[in-house]
Structure 1
């Protein structure tokens, strides 16, 4: 915990209407080292990061389900994560929420010069050029620099492949990526216990590459497959009831086929 003196407690009820200031005050109260919440006061950037990722996925889940009331709640939870990280940074004397907001405002204006700065052209190609220049200013010279390690593996694989493709390192059409899958599958089948996991990784990477060449988001495709499997499996359980676990594999396969038909 930083030795930096914290501001006095704020009368939360006096902050109306509810807004960002009220949420900031709530977080300040929760983080107060004397009167705050015993859980909130001991958290760090590292311990909160998994919750931040989880909340982002819950936002995506609400969108997938077209559940607007839940989306409202999940966006609030995600916003709280931004407030939490910003508060911890403020306590450490690094930056505060105002700096975070100013930074993203500056970035959006900088990346849309045709909207905010009177430039003659814009669009996605210019956005990518500006992002590349920003990475260069941060000392990130390589094409793959800046692809976050914490991304889901499928998403990160696709981003790495897209970055490589911008340098010309890419299959000219989907057929090359498809052939690579057969090659990697053969290597999995020929692998021993020591190398099989590595070869499975190569196979998955190749599948992501083929998906990218077909214009399909691999992360979204796998999420949809997960949802489809879950729905069919739950239908099997509902059909069989308490007897499900004791059924033979053939009986379960029949239930699976019936669930697919429905």
Structure 2
């Protein structure tokens, strides 16, 4: 196989990181300084994917690839690892974790068995590398976005039979946490620490309810964010068309335009 454009890209990134003649910005970057860009580019790819825009997906996936190449180039310069070792490690891991493809087809006949085998092999790998956790739930889950992490924790504990029986039971738990949060909000002296704790419990139980309903809580909130921004932009247009300036309006005045934007969106959706 020949990938001339990929080879060209790898060389371009190396040139950007070349001492003296490279790009000053790229040269000053480290693994840690680049982390925020990896997260940002990943979410931009998610946005493009959800919008089903192939050209944007291609562009954003390229930006994600750039982050992989930058990290690999930095590591190569530090003599810790390089792109070749990254690729070698990944291919070996994929072969090792897919024995039903590369060894014995009878080891997994459906997607559920594949996932189960994957987790077992992953656990064995950690034990052999001396990295097995004393807990059955990996603390690395805490490195993910909070709602995503809450969902993964719930999925893991459910496999250990530590879970609610159905969505209705979780809904009761959500209501219980909401009541506890409200109690803190009406206390004679509001404690930010207590409110933070109760808000966390409320959000965690909400994430578990979403899981029981077959909904990804991270995606759920992301869609809500998109809906709010879309409606806010609609409200801005209506205010501008009415000859008003948003910054000079009070809350009740803006609410009128917000409700109008909401009604127009619902009407358009029903048509």
Choose 143-152 or 98-107, whichever is displaced more: 143-152
1:260 is matched with which residue: 251, 259, 262?
Answer: 262
8 Å Cα contact 2:238/2:261 also seen in 1? no
8 Å Cα contact 1:87/1:97 also seen in 2? yes
Distance 1:145 1:17, change over 3 A: closer
Shift of the alpha carbon at 1:213?
1.0
Q: TM-score by structure 2 length?
A: 0.85
Matched with 1:39 is 25
In the TM superposition, 1:242-261 aligns within 5 A as 242-261=244-263
Distance 1:85 1:146, change over 3 A: farther
List per-residue Cα deviations over 1:149-199 (Å, max 9, x = no partner): 432111011112212222221111112211111121122122232311111
8 Å Cα contact 1:147/1:156 also seen in 2? no
List per-residue Cα deviations over 1:221-242 (Å, max 9, x = no partner): 1111111111111111101114
SS of aligned partner of 1:195: helix
SS of aligned partner of 1:19: helix
Shift of the alpha carbon at 1:140?
2.2
1:177 aligns with 2:170: yes
Shift of the alpha carbon at 1:121?
2.4
**C-alpha distance in 1, partners of 2:35/2:245?**
42
SS of aligned partner of 2:61: helix
In the TM superposition, 1:1-262 aligns within 5 A as 18-122=4-108, 123-138=114-129, 139-141=131-133, 142-145=135-138, 147-191=140-184, 192-193=190-191, 194-241=193-240, 242-262=244-264
Please report the RMSD computed on the Cα atoms of aligned residues, expressed in angstroms: 1.8
Shift of the alpha carbon at 1:148?
4.2
Matched with 2:268 is none
